[in-house]
Each structure stands twice: as structure tokens, then as C-alpha cells.
Amino acid sequence: MDACTARSAWSRPPSSRTPTTVTTPLRLPSKRQFRASTEPGAQQDAADSVKRVSQELGGKSAHIILPDANLDLAVDTAVQGVMNNSGQTCAAPTRTLVPASLKDDFLIRVTPAVDALTVGDPTTDVNLGSVANETQWHTVQRYIQIGLDEGATLVAGGLGKPENTNPDGWFARPTVFADVTNDMRIAQEEIFGPVMSVITYDTVDEAVQIANDSPYGLAGYVTGADKAKAEQVASRIRAGQVLVNSVVPNLFAPFGGYKRSGNGRIWGVAGLEEYLETKALVGAL
């Protein structure tokens, strides 16, 4: 999958979001890098021959909007991050953590921003294309219904297809839920679609606790006016890459997950080192 591209109207299908078994010869390759959802197929397949495996897997990333944040920047970061690639990015900040005191101001801004997104043929001037396929569309619909059943407040989007889209295309409505609690399934499970969950917090310590209360740890985001404070908060998030006041990943920085988001790294020097073996020459001088 072309993961985490900053801006795109295209909906590129992921390489795999379902359990996958790939059989490789016993001797080659000696290292495998696997990118998909959180199923153990790659490790199981490599186990018999003790191949080295690194995995970049699923995510349910949190975006902490600090009390001093510029809300226009925060909304832009949230909408771009969640809705890019029709929500089909592994590092999408689908849990948007907002100070309780700023909730109404944030929703006043984010709701029209999401409602204004255009969906349709990605070869035309639109913001979002379709999701990958019929199966994924039904998955997104199922999670939207789960959010409604769990008591979250729908403030944008919802079930069904957007108006004026090709009925044969698997187009999903950009969706925002408010009044989400972190124990809800829409806050804990990877949807892989254009669905944002807005969660409120009272203190920054609580925000960090919520961000880390996840089986995943692929990415994190912090938006705040005081850069030093934002970086300090970012350092407390248990995720492989945390972006401060940005939604654009740095391809020269290591990228990979904590917890169920995988092991090993891609990109940067650390990504290259995944393919190297350490050799010691003893007594050679």
C-alpha cells in the first residue's frame, strides 16, 4: 500500500487487509518485509526457516489537539489526516482528541470542512475517490452503524453512498462522530475508511493516557502553538512516528509500529539497517 501519502484524491487498494499466507522458498529471501493489517501470516510463514521478518501493520492513531492550538490548523490537520486516500492510510489520525472546553468550537469548524469534501471519480476534480472494493465498503458501513449503536453522535456523513456518485462505485461518505469514548469499538478498531472519532479530554495527562490506550502504536499527531510543549507531549506517545503541527510524514525518518502495529522500521537509515547483518571479524588483524 502507498502508505500515508499527504494528499491524494485516489483510493489505492491496500496490498492486503485480510489474512494472507505467502509461501517462500526455504533459502530465499533471507528477510521479509510485510505491510498489511494485523494478522500473523508473515511471521508464521517465515518461522520454519527462521527468516527475519519486519512488519508495518495496522493503526488507530491519535491526534492530540492541545488547549493552545490554532483550531483552523487543527481542523486542517485532522481532516487531511483522516480523509486522505478515502481514509485508507495505516497512520490516519482517526482518534481526534480535543479539550472538552474547545469541543464545540472544533465541531463548528470541522463539520462544514468535512461536509464540503467532494467524492467521486478520482480522475476528476474531487477530494476523495472510492474505497478499495465492495468488501471494504461494507466494512466501513458496518463500523458507522456500530458507532451509532454505541451512542456516538453523528455530526457529518453517515451510512450509504454520497449523492451524485456512480452507484456502481464503492464510495463512502466522509463521516465524523462526536461524543466518542475511547472504549468504543470505533475508537479501538481499525476501520480503514473515512471515519473520524472526536474524543474529549480535561487534562493533557488524560489526553496522553487516551492516546496510549490502544492496541496499536503506528503513529501519533500533536497540534499546539507552543512547539516545545507539543514536542514534550509527542515524546510521551507510544508510537513509531509522531508528527507535530503537521500531517506530512518525513520519508527520511524511520516509520514503523509499537505493539500490534508491527516490528522493525522502513524509511531512513533505520529502514536500511533492517536489511543488514552484523558480522564480527575476530583475530583478522
For 208, other C-beta atoms within 10 Å of its C-beta total 22
Question: In terms of Cα–Cα distance, which of 249, 225, 229 is closest to 239?
Answer: 249
Query: How far is residue 147's CA from residue 127's CA, in Å, rounded to a whole number?
Result: 24
**Can you spell out the DSSP letters for the chain?**
--TT-SS-S--PPPS-SS-------SSS-SEEEEESSS-SHHHHHHHTTT-EEEEE-----EEEE-TT--HHHHHHHHHHHHHGGGG--TT---EEEEEGGGHHHHHHHHHHHHHT--BS-TTSS-SB---SSHHHHHHHHHHHHHHHHHTPEEEE--SSPPTTS-TTS-----EEEES--TTSHHHHS---SSEEEEEEESSHHHHHHHHH-SSEESEEEEE-SSHHHHHHHHTTS-SSEEEES-----TTS-B--EETTEES-BSHHHHHHTT-------S--
Q: Which residues are catalytic?
A: 56, 90
Grid coordinates of 9: 484524491
